[in-house]
Amino acid sequence: MSIPENLQRGNFGSRLGFILAAAGSAIGLGNIWRFPYTAGQNGGGAFVLVYLACVILIGIPVMLGELSIGRATQRNPVGAFRVLAPGSAWPLVGALGVITGFGILAFYSVVAGWTVGYLYKAFMGQFGGDVTAEQSAAIFTEMIASPSAALLLTAIFLLLTVLVVRRGVSGGIEAAARVLMPVFFVLLLVLTLRAISLPGAMEGVRFMIDFDFSKITGAVAMSALGQALFSLSLGMGAMITFGSYLPRREGLAFSGVSVVFSDTLIALLAGFMIFPALFATGGDPTAGPGLVFVTMPTIFHSLPAGQLFGVAFYALLGIAALTSTISLLEVVVAYLVDQRNWNRNMACWVVGGLCFVLAVPSALGNGASNFWSGGEGSWLAMDFLSLQNIIWGNYSLSIGAILICLFVGWRWRVRASLEEIQTNGEPVPMFGLYGPLIRFICPLAVAAVLVFIIVTRQYF
């Protein structure tokens, strides 16, 4: 398909640049914040096993499906479905993705704001001494319950995101991701080695690898599936958008699988960093969203130059989160610019501003406001941030993933998608599995989990 001149878009400079930028989208709070606490709440090893199965059986095919849709059409998610299925309802799948991106950005930026707060704390030497688990928990609770801190930090993070996305894809995103992702990886490795060597750490390692099948329930499967999609930035068109910036000559299989592999590696590393440190200090794995924030300060002081490690950790985590929020905002902005002819700058400011409005209840829902925190007398089933996390992060992405699979498998057709994946003649190992996976196994598996959840009413 030839692309009209006016729709030619900024391309990534190289395959490595693309992989790092897409990995930058995938790697973020999903790996370091969401994965460990969700694993902790869902029994550890059993969850990890289902998560890995979801990554391989569902993550890889959906990743290749999304990238191929994006690259074939060179459009944002809505435009992409319009090109491939004109006059149909399929563009609504893209619209769901745009809305989901907005929904995720609105709570994600609150947690990303916490990393900025912690960067400040680490910089000021607040974690320098021997911080006990209780002290660490108190520091965290105090920060997130302060309305001014929570709102200010969220605003700072959204502002940073807007400032990068304004400049367009290859300028901001690629340049940042290129250098910082590898640095982050090395730092995580060092911290993981340190955590594992703490006295009492082995219990945490065991927690991660104790594959107890009897612990797998519908809720565990749903959380693992949602986590796999969330962590890989799948089910909402982020990878369609990234694929649209990829030059034609590149095959997609190697890039797509590299992103899946590096994202999963980082999540596992985070697990092997957090749980040993947690068990070594006698913490509770089911602590919830505060888990990483409470656990990490307890290991910095045990390192030489602990303060430096603390500062580096939060700075890099913040940047990893930023490369993810950039991709979330980019999906919404690309839609407004391409489909609605908005000016990029204006789209960034308007979406960023609206996002802040939706982020307010999530920012205040961690102790600042009883109602939004789901406290006594509030009719919210849980705090607003957790609720958003489940609605957009688990349900919306799962539904999006089913629809994307059905689209590739039954409407656009597997052959067309595979041709796009293999443009450079790069052989795709086991490509015979792609068709059956994307047509039957992925949509059925995701649908089965959703139906099971509804039947057993284990919604959360």
268: Cα within 13 Å, side-chain hemisphere: 13
Segment lying near ligand PHE (by CB under 6 A), choices 27-35, 176-184, 293-301, 408-416: 27-35
Among 42, 231, 389, 417, binds ligand PHE (CB under 6 A): 231
Using CB under 6 A as the binding rule, whether residue 31 contacts ligand PHE is answered as: yes
Among 20, 21, 22, 26, binds ligand PHE (CB under 6 A): 26
DSSP secondary structure code for residue 30 in this structure: I
| Amino acid in position 15 | R
* Contact call for residues 351 and 359 (beta carbons, < 8 A): no
CB-nearer residue toward ligand PHE: 260 or 347: 260
* Contact call for residues 109 and 325 (beta carbons, < 8 A): yes
Among 28, 59, 97, 103, binds ligand PHE (CB under 6 A): 28
CB-nearer residue toward ligand PHE: 139 or 180: 180
Sign of CA dihedral 237, 318, 388, 272: positive
Spell out the SS3 assignment of 187-243. Answer: HHHHHHHHHHCCCCCHHHHHHHHCCCHHHCCHHHHHHHHHHHHHHCCCCCCHHHHHH
Using CB under 6 A as the binding rule, whether residue 29 contacts ligand PHE is answered as: yes
Among 238, 260, 280, 453, binds ligand PHE (CB under 6 A): 238
What is the nearest approach in angstroms of ligand PHE to the Cβ of residue 328? 5
The size of the interface with ligand PHE (CB under 6 A), counted in residues, is 15
- Name residues contacting ligand PHE, limited to 309-338 (CB under 6 A): 324, 327-328
| Amino acid in position 424 | N
DSSP letters of 128-148?
SS---HHHHHHHHHHHHH-HH
Q: Which contiguous run of DSSP H or E holds residue 174?
A: none
Using CB under 6 A as the binding rule, whether residue 233 contacts ligand PHE is answered as: yes
| Helix axis angle, 397-406 to 60-73, nearest 10° | 70
Segment lying near ligand PHE (by CB under 6 A), choices 26-34, 218-226, 350-358, 371-379: 26-34
What is the nearest approach in angstroms of ligand PHE to the Cβ of residue 327? 5
Among 165, 236, 333, 404, binds ligand PHE (CB under 6 A): 236
Map tokens 């969220």 to a residue: 154
Segment lying near ligand PHE (by CB under 6 A), choices 23-31, 79-87, 219-227, 243-251: 23-31
What is the nearest approach in angstroms of ligand PHE to the Cβ of residue 352? 16
What is the nearest approach in angstroms of ligand PHE to the Cβ of residue 378? 27
- Name residues contacting ligand PHE, limited to 85-114 (CB under 6 A): 104
Nearest CA to 103 out of 427, 397, 423 is that of: 397
What is the nearest approach in angstroms of ligand PHE to the Cβ of residue 321? 7
Please report, in angstroms and rounded to a whole number, the separation of the first and last CA atoms in the chain.
44
Q: Could you list the residues that contact ligand PHE (CB under 6 A)? A: 25-26, 28-31, 104, 230-231, 233, 236, 238, 324, 327-328
